[in-house]
């Protein structure tokens, strides 16, 4: 039973670690989704700032719009990099969650095996005692006849 208590304590520690990793995975997911939304927003802005043919546009407006589109392009590239990094982080955290989950399940299986062995040992001992009592009762009946 001491072994089971020790393994149970270890399992509880591993479960707490798993819960912490799940929280990190949730944060990483939210971060990744935020990066995706920003990237899509920047891509949408790039398409909004274009020149239609046939309209007269001043050189200053055209120059400013081209500069702004260049800045949007730079921001878009940086956001795409941020999105890729957040995706890598998300995958890494998810892999750690899976690994930690395996660790917790392994501890649970060890505990289950040990409890099963203890219960089998108890059952065997009880059966042995019942057999002995039955033999003694049978022996007493024979003596009393």
Cβ–Cβ under 8 Å, residues 65 and 46? no
Note whether residue 119 is domain-resident.
Answer: no
Quote the pLDDT of residue 3. 82
Quote the pLDDT of residue 74. 93
Note whether residue 74 is domain-resident.
Answer: yes
DSSP 115-135: HHHHHHHHHHHHHHHHHHHHH
Note whether residue 12 is domain-resident.
Answer: yes
Q: In total, how many domains does the chain have?
A: 1
Q: Tokens 């969650």 sit at which residue?
A: 97
Quote the pLDDT of residue 141. 83
Note whether residue 129 is domain-resident.
Answer: no
Quote the pLDDT of residue 120. 95
Where b means 16+ CB within 10 Å and e means fewer, 95-130 reads ebbeebeebbeebeebbeeeeeeeeeeeeeeeeeee
Note whether residue 72 is domain-resident.
Answer: yes
How do the pLDDT tens digits run along the chain, 145 residues long?
A: 788 888 889 999 999 999 999 999 999 999 999 999 999 999 888 877 766 555 666 788 778 888 888 999 999 999 999 999 999 999 999 999 999 999 999 999 999 999 999 999 999 999 999 999 999 888 888 888 6
Cβ–Cβ under 8 Å, residues 27 and 116? no
Cβ–Cβ under 8 Å, residues 46 and 68? no
Across the chain, the runs of DSSP E, i.e. the strands, are none
Quote the pLDDT of residue 51. 60
Output the six-digit token pair for 9. 């304590």
Look up the domain containing 12 and give its range: 2-105
Output the six-digit token pair for 93. 């955290």
Note whether residue 132 is domain-resident.
Answer: no
Note whether residue 66 is domain-resident.
Answer: yes
Note whether residue 81 is domain-resident.
Answer: yes
| pTM beyond 0.85 | no
């Amino acid at each position: 039973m001491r072994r089971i208590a020790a393994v149970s304590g270890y399992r509880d520690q591993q479960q707490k670690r798993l819960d912490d990793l799940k929280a990190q995975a949730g944060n990483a997911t939210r971060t990744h989704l935020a990066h995706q939304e920003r990237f899509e927003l920047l891509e949408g802005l790039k398409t909004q700032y274009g020149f239609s043919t046939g309209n007269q546009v001043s050189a200053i407006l055209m120059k400013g719009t081209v500069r702004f589109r260049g800045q949007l392009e730079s921001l878009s590239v940086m956001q795409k990099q941020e999105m890729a990094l957040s995706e890598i982080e998300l995958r890494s955290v998810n892999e750690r969650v899976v690994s930690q989950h395996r660790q917790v399940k392994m501890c649970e299986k060890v505990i289950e095996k040990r409890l099963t062995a203890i219960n089998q040992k108890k059952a065997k001992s009880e059966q042995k005692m019942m057999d002995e009592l039955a033999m003694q009762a049978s022996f007493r009946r024979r003596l009393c006849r």
